[in-house]
Amino acid sequence: MNIIVCIKQVPSTSNVEVDPVTGVLKREGTKTKMNPYDLFALEQAFQLRERYGGTVAVLTMGPNQAREVLHEALYMGADSAVLASDRRFAGADVLATSYTLAQCVRKMGKYDLIICGKQTTDGDTAQVGPEMAELLGIPHACNVISVEGFSEDTSSGGALVVKVNMDDSIYTLKMKAPCLITVDKDVNTPRLPSYLRRKKAGDAQLLVWNMDDLPDQDESHYGLTGSPTQVEKVFPPEVKRDRECFTGSGEELADRLYSLLREKKRI
């Protein structure tokens, strides 16, 4: 069973600068980490590999510093890694990002399953996974809370059975491979990187691809140029640190708080 896991490097702090011209986050020089939801995607891939055999490849798009999260995934147990890195990819919206990743998947060759985290903590759109599946023309399921198993009982070579959280109910779905799922945080408990796996990962393959390496090299499909939606303006929220301290009895403090809320028109 050959699995591809899409991961992303995200800021580990809320104090992130925004480019005033392009309206995108300035990622270089910012403290980063692996997107938390992607840890659950990786763990699910490792569990399926342990159960059915095969390989786990990780894929990300970003600047050169995104190698860090790929190395982390390799230290956790991934077999190989691909970084899509090109200045022409910069400023991509969810559609251009999905298109770039889908092109990378096509270049990576045969696969049975793509796993993504439910969403990222910097964009919170939860759109890249489903859009990738649509671009690749494969079935997909989102908000997966349990992977029941993979069975080889269809003419396509396999089928994946999952449980999906639909808020008001839980659905059990069976999808022909190849397919894509996005997993929620309740699907498993991620493992930690280990020293032994880190030593073993020294021989793991990490490839870096730019636009010229992809099947489609039309620049109009990538980055800001290939993004039908663009952010008009992004700005950090205003931080107010004014404080007032009050003393008195409980009744006096309650009356004072009530008066303040009335003044602020909160009640």
61-110 pLDDT, tens digit each? 999 999 999 999 999 999 999 999 999 999 899 999 999 999 999 999 99
Cα dihedral 258, 260, 263, 264, rounded to 10, equals: -110
The H-or-E segment that residue 259 falls in is helix 250-263
Phi, psi for 109 (deg, rounded to 5)? 95, -155
Domains and CATH numbers, the chain: 2-221 (3.40.50.620)
Token pair of 243, please? 């404080």
**What pLDDT does residue 138 have?**
97
Q: Which residues pair with 174 in a beta bridge?
A: 161
Tell me how far apart the alpha carbons of residues 7 and 136 are, in angstroms, rounded to a whole number. 18
pLDDT at 191: 87
- The tens digit of pLDDT for each residue in 178-234 reads 999 999 999 999 988 777 767 766 666 799 999 999 999 999 999 999 999 977 776
Beta pairing partners, 172? 163
